Every structure is written in C-alpha cells, then in structure tokens.
C-alpha cells in the first residue's frame, strides 16, 4: 500500500516551464520523474513503479519466447568497437572517456560487439544455434540535443536482443519470432503501434521494420495506405510504378526562359507566352525535371559528385538520400564545386550535361517516376534557357534511379496505387536482420554439419524501455492528467477520503484499504490530513490510476463511489461490494 501521507511525492500545480510535450509535462507534474542532468532523469517512487511494470512486461514476453537474459557492462573498452569500425564511425554521439592509465573507454550506445564476442567465446557448433539473448540495459548517446523529456535522452534504458543463426532461413525464423513477441509485448503495454518498413541505416543489414506509436510529437514520419495496409518510414517508402501511355511527343525544343530561377517562376513563364504554352493544358510543376547535384562523402574520405533528377514539384529529401547512399554521407554542392564542372550551369542543369558518359562525368540518378517515354521540361545547360518535351529514353538516359524525392501526403501506394496518408510516430521498437557484418568483423564462426566453418548470421532487436513509458503517457492522457493502462499503472486503485479528518470516512477508508490489500489489490491511499477534497480529486486525476474509489458523504448510507479515470463514469455502490468489483475489473483487464 502506498500512503500519500508518507509517499515521497509532490505534485505540481503548474506545468514546468521547460517541458513541452505532454508526457514530459505530466510525468514531472504528477511526480513521476525529475530532470537530473541534460538528457537524464531521476525516477521517483510512482515513476519507478510504473517503469518497472513496463520493464517486467517486456522481460516476461522475452522469456516466454525462449530468449535468455544476460547483462553486460555499460562501460566498455575501445577494442571491440575498434574492430567493427564503430569507434570512429559512430561519431560524436558516442560517449568516450579515459581511465587513469589513459586507456579509451566508451559508454555503450548499443551492444552488438559484446554480444557477438561472448557468443564467439562460448559457442562453436551449429548444434548450439539458434540462440537469442537479450539484456535490459542503460544506454548512452551524446545526443546533440536531448529533448522531449524521456523521449530522447542521453541516458535511457533499452531492451536489446540479438539472434544467432547458421543460415538465412534461421535468421528469418528468429526475426519472425521477435516480431511476434514485439506484437504481444506492445499489446500488453497498451501501446498503439504501426509496423512500418524501415531502412537498416548505419547498422548494415537487410530486412528492417520499426514499431511506431502513432503520436504527433514523434520524430519519425511514416506513410500508411488505408486501403492495403502498407506502411513505411518515409526514408524507406518506394515510389509507385508509373504506367506510361505511349504517345508521340513533340521534338525537344530549347526555349528562352529568362529570370526563371525557381520552378514556380518557370511554370508561370511557360504558361504566359503563346510560344511556349501547351495546347492541351497548362504546364504544371510536376512537368518539370529538377536536377540537383550533391557530393557524397564516403567513409574512406573520398568525395564523389552525384546528380539527382526529380519532378519539380518536390524537394530532395536528404534523409531519404542518405538512407539510399549509406554509409556515404550526402553534402550540398558548393560554388567552389560548380567551378570544377564548367559544363554545369547553376539553375539550368539539364540531363544532357549529366551522366557518366557526359562531359561532366557525374553519375546521374533519377526519380523512379522518370521512366522511358515520360517527357519533361528541364534545364538546357545554358543560362536563361530550358528544354521542353525532353523525353526520357529518346533524348536522354540516366545511370539509374534513386528514391530521393520527398514523399507527399496522398502519394499513391506502391503496393495498390491508392493514396497514402502521412503521420508522425515515436519509434518504440526496431527489428532488423543484421546479417554477417558483425560476425565477420569479429570472426564469429561455427562448424556446420559438414564440419566446415560458417559465419553466423545475426539479427538485432530493440525496445526503448524508458521511452515506452513516455510513449504510453503520450497515448494515455487527457486535459486533467495521465490515464495509465491497467498493466502499467502505479497502483490498481486510488483510494480517496473525501470528508472531515475526524469524520466517519477515514475509519471506513482505512478498513477498505486493508481489505484491498488483503485481496491483492495494489492501492494508492490518499490518507493525507488537512487536504481539501478538490486537491485530492485533482491529484488523483493527475496521477492517473485507472480506478478511483472515493469514500465520501455516501458513507452514512454505506455507499462509496467508484470512478473510472478514463471515461469519468461514476458508480455508487455498497462499500461491502467494492473489493469484489475491483477484483473483477482486474481479472477482466
């Protein structure tokens, strides 16, 4: 039993000024957490109870799936991360430190290396596999900008699992098992989620999906097709295939287009003059082909220019480009770069000047919408001139295609062609097939049935535990405070005394609290003296325990009020029936 008269808790009447998002605001205000460091939080009693319930559910589902829990240090030596290249590749987000002998250490942002090494140390036969092991561990990332309270901290708790298999089929099975386990885990946590296709990014590997809680304050953008259910992170969205009607296009024509530095000004200019107007309809921004040049900086430091052609009604989405060209990093083309390529006329770059066989020799990749038979208005490689009716396949060819254009609300689904909608989400889980990157780097091999050495293939699976607490708060609150799902609430019932300190309510409530406890019901008991009823009700709503029991004026008739925090529904019932009622609520949850 938690007695509020002695509980280490102070609720705040006002929102803390440094908290913006609801989870941060409410968790601080209701006395669950306190900021302790930039990107670091202290868990207070109510918060820690809730946190542990979340952690226990995650652990329980892992164990039910047959995964085994281990625990590594958060403080690790440099060497394993040197072997996989991540000591340098991870960049400034890695917390690095030195011991007294000046040896390099790090605070682990994730533990692929350590898991790989410990399996290599202990296992050496295909008979030992498959194996999935996990830990629930504090992780450290020196985020440039921690924000939104628990949602993006520099210290946070993550459940990370790793699977080890001899072949791709085994990896797929381990991946599927984790996927199923994540589904049951998030269901139990009461977290809404969407499973989206994702990019594996810097981690390497192939198949990858994210579990996103669809909440506006989330940092990830995803698209979802309401028709067929396809969902993907915008980084991973594929452009729908375009069918090209076979029509005879006019010959490509160079036209004067002075002072048309932007797509809008170009379209306006074309539509204004008789000579350039279309006969069938006005020109539109997506008739134009915009060519953007970037530099790719490869991990070894070499720089390669890359030209990207996309429909003019869209911008280049650098995140999407980055996901495509990883591990290389795209950077903007500078004026100095343009000077090195005199064939490129800034603002009027056309496909004829691009491509590995062109004068510039710059690799030219186009949006998947730019396919053979499509006609475009694009730069003529001369200042103040554009070309109309430049047909892909007839007048120019590209070196390939790239998913680089921004995704727009309503874009057709690549699976079924129906319009897709965009939304924001909080990444609460990520599963992906790592493959053999780490096993190769760290020499994790086992003997197969034929006695041959084979490199193990791995999967990596994460759930943000502390972030999940915040995500639940984000999805379970209203204007009055938190409304926890039963499974993670800090108590089963919040028992409130509403009456004079020396009235009959107090002894009745004490008796009821004892009865709850005997029945195995966790009770948060507001037994404070000298606190007015309004304060008690406000605090109960703020704290968010799913059921609130009020022992008030009805007690003279033997009645207490049972209130549902979420719906606000109140029911008076005889005090003798309450315990059975709550027990039934818990059983049905």
Partner RNA sequence: CGGGGUGUAGCGCAGCUUGGUUAGCGCGCCACGUUCGGGACGUGGAGGUCGGAGGUUCGAAUCCUCUCACCCCGACCA
Q: Which is nearer to RNA, 84 or 414 (CB)?
A: 84
CA 303 to chain centre: 30
d(CA 118, CA 30): 42
Residue 534: Cβ-neighbour burial (10 angstroms; 0-12, 13-18, 19+): exposed
Q: Which is nearer to RNA, 13 or 101 (CB)?
A: 13
Nearest distance in Å: CB 394, RNA: 36
**Using rule CB under 7 A, residue 539 touches RNA:** yes
Contacts of 231 (CB under 8 A, 6+ apart): 194, 195, 196, 197, 222, 223, 224, 225
**Using rule CB under 7 A, residue 172 touches RNA:** no
d(CA 430, CA 182): 9
**Using rule CB under 7 A, residue 16 touches RNA:** yes
Helix (H) or strand (E) holding 533: helix 533-543
Question: Binding RNA by CB under 7 A: which of 377, 542, 562, 575?
Answer: 542
Nearest distance in Å: CB 120, RNA: 21
Please, which of residues 248-287 interact with RNA by CB under 7 A? none
Cβ pair 547, 582 in contact under 8 A: yes
Residue 480: Cβ-neighbour burial (10 angstroms; 0-12, 13-18, 19+): middle
Question: Binding RNA by CB under 7 A: which of 371, 448, 533, 585?
Answer: 533
Nearest distance in Å: CB 585, RNA: 19
Interface stretch with RNA, choices 136-144, 165-173, 294-302, 485-493 (CB under 7 A)? 136-144
CA-angle at 221, arms to 211 and 140, nearest 5°: 60
Q: Which residues pair with 36 in a beta bridge?
A: none
**Using rule CB under 7 A, residue 130 touches RNA:** no
d(CA 400, CA 402): 7
**Using rule CB under 7 A, residue 71 touches RNA:** no
* Cβ neighbours of 249 (radius 10 Å): 15
Intra-chain end-to-end CA distance of the chain, in Å:
21
Interface stretch with RNA, choices 127-135, 146-154, 333-341, 355-363 (CB under 7 A)? 146-154
**Using rule CB under 7 A, residue 292 touches RNA:** no
The per-residue DSSP string of 43-60 comes to EPHHHHHHHHHHHHHHHH
Q: Which is nearer to RNA, 202 or 449 (CB)?
A: 202
Nearest distance in Å: CB 571, RNA: 11
d(CA 445, CA 427): 33
Interface stretch with RNA, choices 263-271, 277-285, 341-349, 537-545 (CB under 7 A)? 537-545
Q: Which is nearer to RNA, 289 or 434 (CB)?
A: 434
Interface stretch with RNA, choices 56-64, 381-389, 400-408, 549-557 (CB under 7 A)? 549-557
Cβ pair 163, 468 in contact under 8 A: no
**Using rule CB under 7 A, residue 342 touches RNA:** no
**Using rule CB under 7 A, residue 93 touches RNA:** yes
d(CA 484, CA 546): 6
**Using rule CB under 7 A, residue 337 touches RNA:** no
Question: Binding RNA by CB under 7 A: which of 141, 363, 369, 565?
Answer: 141
d(CA 35, CA 9): 15
Q: Which is nearer to RNA, 4 or 49 (CB)?
A: 4
**Using rule CB under 7 A, residue 177 touches RNA:** no
Question: Binding RNA by CB under 7 A: which of 554, 565, 575, 578?
Answer: 554
Q: Which is nearer to RNA, 93 or 372 (CB)?
A: 93
> Would you call 112 helix, strand, or coil by DSSP?
helix
Helix (H) or strand (E) holding 162: strand 155-165
Question: Binding RNA by CB under 7 A: which of 201, 384, 412, 417?
Answer: 201
Pairing of strands 68-69, 289-297: unpaired
Nearest distance in Å: CB 110, RNA: 6
Q: Single out the residue of 45, 183, 151 nearest to residue 468, CA to CA.
A: 151
Buried/exposed 339-348: b ≥16 CB within 10 Å, e otherwise: eebeebbeeb
Q: Which is nearer to RNA, 148 or 390 (CB)?
A: 148
Nearest distance in Å: CB 529, RNA: 8
Q: Which is nearer to RNA, 379 or 499 (CB)?
A: 499
Q: Which is nearer to RNA, 267 or 310 (CB)?
A: 310
**Using rule CB under 7 A, residue 570 touches RNA:** yes
d(CA 427, CA 412): 24
**Using rule CB under 7 A, residue 219 touches RNA:** yes
**Using rule CB under 7 A, residue 21 touches RNA:** yes
Residue 347, sorted as left (phi over 0), alpha (psi -120 to 50) or beta, turns out to be left
| Residues of the shown chain interacting with RNA in the complex, contacts defined by CB under 7 A | 10-18, 20-21, 37-39, 91, 93, 109-110, 141, 143-148, 152, 158, 201-203, 219, 318-319, 322, 329, 427, 429-430, 460, 462-464, 480, 498-501, 503, 530, 532-535, 537-539, 541-542, 550-554, 560-561, 563, 570
């Amino acid at each position: 039993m938690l007695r509020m008269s002695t509980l280490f808790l102070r609720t705040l009447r006002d929102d803390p000024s440094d908290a913006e998002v609801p989870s941060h605001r409410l968790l601080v205000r209701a006395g669950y957490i306190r900021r302790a460091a930039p990107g670091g939080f202290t868990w207070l009693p109510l918060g820690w109870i809730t946190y542990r319930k979340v952690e226990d559910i995650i652990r329980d589902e892992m164990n039910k799936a047959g995964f085994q829990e281990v625990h590594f240090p958060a403080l690790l030596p440099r060497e394993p991360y040197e072997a996989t290249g991540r000591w340098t590749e991870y960049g400034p987000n890695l917390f690095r430190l030195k011991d007294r002998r000046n040896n390099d250490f790090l605070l682990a942002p994730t533990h692929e290396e350590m898991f790989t090494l410990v399996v290599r140390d202990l296992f050496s036969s295909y008979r030992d596999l498959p194996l999935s092991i996990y830990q629930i561990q504090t992780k450290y990332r020196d985020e440039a900008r921690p924000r939104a309270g628990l949602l993006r901290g520099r210290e946070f708790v993550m459940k990370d699992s790793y699977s080890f298999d001899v072949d791709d089929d085994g990896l797929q099975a381990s991946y599927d098992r984790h996927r199923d386990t994540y589904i049951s885990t998030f269901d139990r946590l009461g977290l809404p989620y969407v499973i989206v296709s994702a990019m594996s990014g810097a981690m390497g590997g192939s198949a990858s999906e994210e579990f996103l809680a669809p909440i506006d304050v989330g940092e990830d953008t995803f698209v979802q097709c309401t028709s067929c259910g396809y969902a993907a992170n915008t980084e991973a969205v594929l452009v729908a295939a375009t069918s090209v009607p076979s029509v005879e296009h006019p010959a490509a024509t160079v036209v004067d287009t002075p002072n048309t530095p932007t797509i809008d000004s170009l379209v306006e200019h074309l539509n204004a003059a008789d000579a350039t107007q279309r006969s069938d309809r006005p020109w539109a921004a997506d008739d134009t082909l915009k060519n953007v040049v970037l530099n790719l900086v490869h991990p070894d430091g070499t720089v390669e220019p890359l030209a990207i052609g996309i429909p003019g009604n869209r911008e280049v989405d650098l995140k999407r480009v980055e996901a495509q060209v990883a591990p290389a990093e795209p950077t903007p083309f500078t004026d100095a770069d343009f000077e090195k390529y005199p064939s490129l006329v800034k603002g009027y770059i056309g496909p004829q000047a691009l491509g590995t066989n062109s004068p510039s020799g710059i690799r030219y990749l186009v949006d998947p919408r730019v396919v053979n038979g499509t006609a475009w208005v694009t730069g003529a490689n001369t200042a103040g001139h554009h070309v109309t009716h430049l047909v892909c396949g007839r007048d120019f060819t590209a070196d390939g295609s790239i998913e680089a254009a921004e995704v727009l609300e309503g874009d057709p689904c690549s699976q079924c062609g129906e319009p897709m909608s965009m939304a924001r989400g909080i990444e609460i889980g990520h599963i992906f097939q790592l493959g053999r990157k780490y096993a190769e780097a760290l020499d994790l091999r086992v003997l197969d049935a034929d006695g041959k050495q084979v490199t193990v293939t791995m999967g990596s699976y994460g759930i943000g535990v502390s972030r999940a607490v915040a995500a639940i708060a984000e999805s379970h609150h209203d204007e009055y405070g938190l409304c926890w799902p039963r499974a993670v609430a800090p108590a089963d019932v919040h028992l409130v005394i509403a009456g004079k300190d020396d009235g009959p309510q107090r002894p009745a409530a004490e008796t009821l609290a004892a009865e709850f406890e005997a029945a195995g019901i966790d009770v948060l008991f507001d037994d404070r003296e000298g606190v007015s009823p309004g304060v008690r009700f406000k605090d109960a709503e703020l704290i968010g325990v799913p059921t609130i029991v009020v022992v008030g004026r009805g007690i003279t008739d033997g009645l207490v009020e049972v209130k549902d925090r979420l719906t606000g529904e109140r029911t008076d019932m005889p005090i003798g029936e309450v315990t059975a009622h709550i027990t039934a609520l818990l059983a049905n949850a």
